[in-house]
Amino acid sequence: MNEKNNGSNNKYDFVNSRALFVLKIITMSFAILACVVIATAMLTRWIMDLNRKIKESNTKMARAAARLNKFRKLRVKHIMKQRKLQVKEEKKDKKKKHHDRDIKLMDIENDDDIDDIDDIEEIDDITDEENAINDFDHELSDILLENIDDEL
């Protein structure tokens, strides 16, 4: 430790003392530690707020997605009901068409003035093809409707 001789008083020089230097280092380390603690607390709070906002946005998005799925399912259900009604109408039209065709054929058979047998064969050929196509379409639509009913 440095001492100065200023005459009558032997005063200790605090400015250059090692104890004061150590106190300065300890004070600075506490100040740095305090800054680190404050920064850590602020970052932790900021991260927690950000995490809370993310969770809130996820729940909002989940609610919106659930609402969209609900509306989508209702729309599909509505479309399937409409398709069922359409198939029923097609069946009615098919029955009416078959009935009209049968009446037409009966009229042709009952008619004594049949000039062209080729016309009758054309009608039979066309109706056989149409019948095959219609039967296939109706079987396919029945299968689809059964699958749809099972899903709903």
**pLDDT tens string 11-35:** 666 667 787 888 899 999 999 999 9
User: Does residue 109 carry a pLDDT above 70?
Assistant: no
User: Does residue 140 carry a pLDDT above 70?
Assistant: yes
User: Does residue 119 carry a pLDDT above 50?
Assistant: yes
Place of tokens 């049968």: 102
Q: What are the residues whose beta carbons fall under 8 Å from the beta carbon of 61, sequence distance 6 or more?
A: none
Nearest to 60 by CA among 70, 48, 68, 50: 68
pLDDT of residue 3: 46
pLDDT of residue 68: 86
Q: What is the mean pLDDT of residues 78-82?
A: 90
CB–CB of 151/83 below 8 Å? no
Amino acid identity at 102? D
